[in-house]
């Protein structure tokens, strides 16, 4: 037995009043009167024996005492539960408000709504002197309510928590909860989520109770990855990549369909079949003008979580590739210039030519070609094609040969490499002018003799192509189609690896990120209920949180998209017995085993009815 509001027990002192009234009650007076005839007209007579009158007075006193005691106990919130509330002074509620909490059960109740309901009931069983704090988290924690004794305030704050379409990161939230819990120990943390913490990974002495809200069975196919980019050198063509996954806890394989819409019109679709825990990637090419809206929609029969079924993105700008060709005047190779001119003819390449004096460049470019020259400092923020390196710099460890060495043929290191796409290496004869090492991530593509003459690879996330020959003195190379192809492929491959290249200005963000913007307002476009909806919101600061899924644009021209795209969030887990070990702890108990309020109120009501019957219906005085 426990009193959750023991301060009300002082009201039992009010019992003194009926006791005193009973002890010092006005005794029945005997009055002689001249005649009774006038009194007989007032009320009917009550002739009762003394013991019956005494019994009735006792009964009246007893009923009054019962009403008083029952009311006080109800106010003091007595519970008879066997629940172990522990001996703690603080409860820290750690409430998951991430996207996965939007999963609904058969009654249409979301995980968050169920969490609120259970927590609301469970809080009733917490003594009022125990402080409660509320932390809601998605990808970061927010202290919604610091430790408070005011339950109404807490309930109000609890009600205000809303689901945000953001993947959760519970680790930081748990640390915050521990910090708050440590302020007023002993404390207990209630973690309300559809996933539980690994207890082995949190061996702290802190008491952690898991309110596991996961469903017994849940199936969720969702889009977990997406990428789109303009096809280099192809106007209004875009390559897109989509990955769809099925959560591991799904009870059965599913069949689904991925619809692709451009500008509101269906464009193409892909059908797929996934086993639980499996993912599948799709690559497809779409055409459209820039800023047209591309919408991907996943349709599956058995899907409990719709938030990850959609991707909305405007087609990015497809501006021409901008490359810089830096070479000393005396080493300008006409064949290299010819190859670059051939690519330029399509209009998809803009070439800036310059001497070493132009370095560093005054404007950003998508790639740079160092031809027979290297700067003093390696450029780390752009892809680089190095032709005939004069020395070593950055990832290029090379040395010029005093006497160029002609080779009749080259061996191919990796003919599947994109740089060698459609290049007929078998007819090529090159004259090596430099030797270089292919250590690290550089991969030799052509090997002449024992030395590599062409290598490509990534260096600190930056794509690099190195050619250790000079086209001008390589007899069977410049006049064949292999060299322009090689130069073009090198540029394309380098630029493809640079997602942030100039011109591709639509930025994609994960929901929950903070994005720096400028301007007065931001306009969000969201696909809801089968139509595109726009909402304009004034900007309060230069940082905007991606707290919804959709496309945004500021009045100053910043724009971007916000996606859930989280493999972890989409991999919704089902409830397991092991993870539901605290089910009894959070079970709402009513009646004799739990909160007695309703029973006591019923008793009070019953007693009042009995009193009413006795004193009014049967006129018991």
Partner 1 sequence: MPTDQPTQTEDEIFDAEFLDRLRALFLRLRKRKQLKKKGIQSTPASGFTREFKDYRNYTAKDDYRAIDWRLYARLDRLFIRLYEEIQEFHVHIVVDTSASMAEPFADKRITSLKLAVALSYMGLVGNHRVSLYEIGEQVGDPPPPLKGLGNLQRVLDFARNLEFGGITDLEKCFREFQPSRRRYGIIFVISDLYGKSVDEAKEAIHHASGWPGEVHFIQVHHPWEEKPDLDGEIELIDVETQEQRRLWFTPRDRKRYEARYQEFIHDIEYACQSRQIDYQRWRTDYPFDELFLDLLSRGSALSSGS
For residues 572 and 38, the answer to whether their CB atoms sit within 8 Å is no
CB of 42 to partner 1, least distance (A): 5
CB of 15 to partner 1, least distance (A): 23
Contact between 43 and partner 1 by CB under 8 A: the answer reads yes
For residues 323 and 491, the answer to whether their CB atoms sit within 8 Å is yes
From 31-39, 72-80, 238-246, 278-286, give the range in contact with partner 1 by CB under 8 A.
31-39
**Strand-by-strand arrangement of the 559-563 sheet:** 507-510, 559-563, 550-554, 521-528, 531-538
Distance from C-alpha of 266 to C-alpha of 278, rounded to nearest angstrom: 27
Where would I find the beta strands (DSSP E) of 425-518? 430-437, 443-448, 451-459, 462-467, 507-510, 514-516
Residue closer to partner 1, measured from CB, 1 or 36: 36
From 45-53, 97-105, 323-331, 395-403, give the range in contact with partner 1 by CB under 8 A.
45-53
Contact between 45 and partner 1 by CB under 8 A: the answer reads yes
CB of 27 to partner 1, least distance (A): 8
SS3 531: strand
Q: How many CA atoms lie within 13 A of 58 on its CB side?
A: 6
Contact between 617 and partner 1 by CB under 8 A: the answer reads no
From 30-38, 92-100, 179-187, 469-477, give the range in contact with partner 1 by CB under 8 A.
30-38
Contact between 40 and partner 1 by CB under 8 A: the answer reads yes
Cross-strand pairs, 443: 456
Contact between 42 and partner 1 by CB under 8 A: the answer reads yes
Distance from C-alpha of 506 to C-alpha of 502, rounded to nearest angstrom: 11
Residue closer to partner 1, measured from CB, 26 or 152: 26
CB of 34 to partner 1, least distance (A): 4
Distance from C-alpha of 98 to C-alpha of 138, rounded to nearest angstrom: 5
How many other C-beta atoms lie within 10 A of the C-beta of residue 479?
A: 12
Beta-carbon contacts of residue 388 (< 8 Å; ≥ 6 apart): 331, 371, 372, 433, 434, 467, 468, 469, 470
Contact between 39 and partner 1 by CB under 8 A: the answer reads yes
Burial class for 397, CB neighbours closer than 10 Å (0-12, 13-18, 19+): middle
Distance from C-alpha of 199 to C-alpha of 177, rounded to nearest angstrom: 15
Planar angle of CA 156, 161, 164, nearest 5 degrees: 170
Contact between 450 and partner 1 by CB under 8 A: the answer reads no
DSSP characters for 213-248? ---SS---EEEEEEEEEEPTTSTTEEEEEEEEEE-T
Cross-strand pairs, 193: 212
Contact between 16 and partner 1 by CB under 8 A: the answer reads no
Residue closer to partner 1, measured from CB, 13 or 36: 36
Distance from C-alpha of 107 to C-alpha of 278, rounded to nearest angstrom: 29
Contact between 23 and partner 1 by CB under 8 A: the answer reads no
From 23-31, 219-227, 529-537, 548-556, give the range in contact with partner 1 by CB under 8 A.
23-31
From 25-33, 264-272, 306-314, 525-533, give the range in contact with partner 1 by CB under 8 A.
25-33
Residue closer to partner 1, measured from CB, 44 or 540: 44
Residue closer to partner 1, measured from CB, 23 or 31: 31
For residues 550 and 226, the answer to whether their CB atoms sit within 8 Å is no
Contact between 31 and partner 1 by CB under 8 A: the answer reads yes
Distance from C-alpha of 459 to C-alpha of 465, rounded to nearest angstrom: 10
CB of 49 to partner 1, least distance (A): 11
Contact between 35 and partner 1 by CB under 8 A: the answer reads yes
Distance from C-alpha of 543 to C-alpha of 53, rounded to nearest angstrom: 81
Distance from C-alpha of 132 to C-alpha of 119, rounded to nearest angstrom: 11
Beta-carbon contacts of residue 362 (< 8 Å; ≥ 6 apart): none
Contact between 50 and partner 1 by CB under 8 A: the answer reads no
Contact between 49 and partner 1 by CB under 8 A: the answer reads no
CB of 590 to partner 1, least distance (A): 42
Contact between 381 and partner 1 by CB under 8 A: the answer reads no
The two tokens of residue 416 are: 């599947």
> Considering only residues 1, 13, 16, 33, which one is a binding residue for partner 1 as defined by CB under 8 A?
33
Contact between 26 and partner 1 by CB under 8 A: the answer reads yes
> Considering only residues 23, 24, 41, 381, which one is a binding residue for partner 1 as defined by CB under 8 A?
41
Q: Is 422 left (phi over 0), alpha (psi -120 to 50) or beta?
A: left
Residue closer to partner 1, measured from CB, 54 or 533: 54
> Considering only residues 28, 49, 381, 541, which one is a binding residue for partner 1 as defined by CB under 8 A?
28
Residue closer to partner 1, measured from CB, 47 or 416: 47
Contact between 621 and partner 1 by CB under 8 A: the answer reads yes
From 41-49, 255-263, 374-382, 546-554, give the range in contact with partner 1 by CB under 8 A.
41-49
How many residues sit in the footprint of partner 1 (CB under 8 A)?
22
> Considering only residues 37, 87, 416, 618, which one is a binding residue for partner 1 as defined by CB under 8 A?
37
Contact between 616 and partner 1 by CB under 8 A: the answer reads no
Contact between 48 and partner 1 by CB under 8 A: the answer reads yes
> Considering only residues 32, 362, 381, 450, which one is a binding residue for partner 1 as defined by CB under 8 A?
32
Question: By the criterion CB under 8 A, which residues form the site for partner 1?
Answer: 26, 28-43, 45-48, 621
């Amino acid at each position: 037995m426990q009193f959750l509001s023991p301060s009300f027990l002082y009201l039992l002192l009010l019992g003194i009043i009926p006791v005193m009234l009973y002890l010092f009650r006005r005794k029945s007076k005997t009055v002689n009167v001249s005649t009774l005839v006038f009194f007989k007209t007032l009320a009917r007579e009550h002739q009762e024996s003394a013991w019956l009158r005494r019994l009735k007075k006792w009964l009246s006193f007893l009923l009054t005492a019962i009403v008083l005691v029952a009311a006080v106990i109800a106010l003091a919130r007595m519970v008879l539960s066997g629940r172990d509330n522990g001996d703690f002074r603080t409860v820290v509620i750690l409430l998951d408000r991430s996207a996965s909490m939007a999963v609904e059960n058969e009654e249409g109740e979301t995980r968050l709504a169920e969490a609120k309901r259970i927590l609301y009931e469970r809080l009733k069983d917490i003594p009022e002197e125990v402080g409660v704090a509320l932390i809601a988290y998605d990808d970061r924690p927010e202290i919604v309510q610091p430790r408070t004794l005011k339950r109404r305030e807490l309930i109000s704050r609890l009600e205000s928590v809303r689901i945000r379409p953001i993947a959760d990161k519970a680790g930081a939230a748990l640390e915050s909860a521990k910090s708050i819990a440590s302020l007023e120990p002993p404390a207990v943390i209630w973690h309300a989520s559809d996933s539980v913490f690994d207890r082995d990974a949190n061996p702290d002495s802190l008491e952690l109770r898991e309110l596991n809200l996961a469903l017994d069975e849940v199936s969720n196919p969702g889009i977990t990855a997406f990428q789109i980019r303009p096809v280099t050198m192809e106007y209004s063509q875009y390559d897109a990549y989509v990955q769809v996954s099925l959560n591991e806890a799904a009870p059965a394989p599913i069949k689904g369909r991925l619809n692709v819409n451009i500008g509101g019109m269906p464009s193409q679709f892909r059908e797929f079949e996934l086993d639980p825990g499996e993912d599948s990637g799709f690559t497809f090419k779409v055409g459209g003008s820039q800023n047209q809206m591309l919408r991907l929609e996943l349709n599956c029969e058995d899907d409990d979580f719709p938030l990850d079924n959609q991707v909305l993105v405007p087609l990015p700008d497809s501006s021409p590739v901008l490359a810089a060709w830096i070479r000393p005047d005396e080493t300008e190779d006409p064949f290299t210039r010819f190859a670059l001119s051939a690519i330029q003819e399509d209009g998809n390449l803009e070439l800036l030519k310059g001497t070493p004096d132009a370095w560093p460049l005054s404007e950003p470019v998508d790639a740079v070609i160092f031809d027979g020259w290297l700067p003093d400092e390696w450029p780390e923020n752009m892809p680089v094609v190095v032709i005939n390196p004069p020395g070593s710099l950055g990832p290029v460890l090379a040395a010029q040969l005093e006497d160029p060495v002609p080779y009749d043929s080259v061996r191919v290191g990796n003919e599947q490499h994109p740089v060698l796409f459609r290049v007929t290496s078998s007819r090529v004869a090159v004259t090596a002018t430099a030797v270089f090492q292919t250590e690290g991530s550089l991969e030799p593509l052509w090997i002449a003799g024992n030395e590599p003459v062409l290598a490509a690879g990534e260096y600190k996330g930056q794509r690099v192509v190195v050619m250790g020959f000079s086209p001008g003195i390589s007899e069977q190379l410049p006049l064949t189609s292999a060299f322009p192809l090689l130069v073009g492929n090198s540029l394309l491959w380098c630029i493809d690896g640079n997602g942030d290249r100039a011109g591709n200005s639509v930025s994609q963000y994960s929901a929950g990120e903070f994005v720096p913007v400028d301007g007065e307002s931001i306009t969000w476009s969201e696909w809801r209920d089968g139509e595109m909806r726009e909402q304009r919101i004034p900007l309060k600061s230069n940082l905007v949180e991606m707290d919804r899924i959709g496309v945004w644009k500021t009045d100053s021209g910043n724009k971007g998209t916000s996606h859930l795209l989280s493999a972890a969030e989409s991999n919704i887990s089902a409830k397991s017995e092991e993870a539901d070990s605290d089910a009894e702890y959070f079970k709402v108990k009513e009646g004799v085993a739990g909160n007695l309020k309703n029973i006591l109120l019923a008793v009070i009501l019953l007693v009042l009815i009995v009193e009413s019957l006795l004193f009014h219906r049967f006129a018991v005085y």
